[in-house]
Amino acid sequence: MNPILISLLGGLLILDKYAFGEFGISQPIVTGTIIGAIFGDMKTGILLGAVIQLIFLGGLPIGRDIPPDSQGAGIVGVAAYFFLVNNNSAPASLFLATILGLTAALLGGAMEIYTRQLNGRLYHQFLKKRRRLYLFHYLGLGTAYLRGFLLILIFTAFAYYFIVPEGIPQINQQMLLIIGVGVGIANGGYLFVKKKTYIFFIIGGICGLVLLAL
């Protein structure tokens, strides 16, 4: 597997975000599992995907709001780790892959804005040439795919060749999991712990504890 192939696959997976369906396939926990299986280490793929999922739990695309690209972050973070670990130690690769994933989320959000602007222009062209509905529809899918492909390729190509210098911070899987769970709890509190939802939060917690005990 190389950066081009993983970017081609990632571009397809990320279409699920807005352009085709919204089935949840592009969520970090799912793409982490898929990419981990491709690289022969599903456990690490699931771990990284789950942590990134928790980090971006509070980012919801409500209305016209465009949050950081958590789907792009998941694909980049997991794929970058497997490319980095080929030439570097696992703790250093884990740290840098997480940084690359978070950076990809910011860049992906910015690219999403430009993609929507481009698709808006395509829509105005369609209004003038309504008989070419399928052409403009597929052009819109093409811009969404190209955004994902380029975003993933930039970071995975960097990870494929990069040698981590000495002195860079290192983290292990346990530390990363602690960070992810901590941020996830904070996000969950922000989203769900409100006056109107206290009772549901408490009932859900009790049910979770019961299932855990069983």
Q: Does residue 214 fall inside a structural domain?
A: no
> Do the domain assignments include residue 31?
yes
> Is residue 207 assigned to a domain?
no
Question: Quick check: is 192 in a domain?
Answer: no
In this prediction, residues 140-163 reach a mean pLDDT of 90
Q: How far apart are CA 65 and CA 22, in angstroms?
A: 17
CA 184 – CA 152 distance, rounded (Å): 24
Q: Is 151 a member of any domain?
A: yes
What tokens does 114 get? 């430009």
Q: Count structural domains, the chain.
A: 1
pLDDT digits (tens, 9 = 90+) for 87-109: 999 999 999 999 999 999 999 88
Question: For residue range 109-136, what is the model confidence (pLDDT) as tens digits?
Answer: 888 888 877 877 777 676 777 777 677 6
The reply to whether 125 falls in a domain is: yes
- 53 within a domain of the structure (yes/no): yes
* 3-class SS shares of the chain: helix, strand, coil, % to 5: 75, 0, 25
pTM: 0.81
Report pLDDT for 80.
95
Long-range own/partner contacts, residues 164-169 (CB < 8 A, 24 or more apart): 164/84, 164/88, 164/89, 164/92, 164/93, 164/96, 168/92, 168/95, 168/96, 169/92, 169/95
Range of the domain at 99: 3-175
User: Cα–Cα distances in Å, from 186 out to 52, 55, 73, 83, 150?
Assistant: 14, 9, 19, 31, 32
List, for residues 75-85, the tens digit of each pLDDT value: 999 999 999 99
Q: Specify if 212 maps to a domain.
A: no
Termini Cα distance of the chain? 42
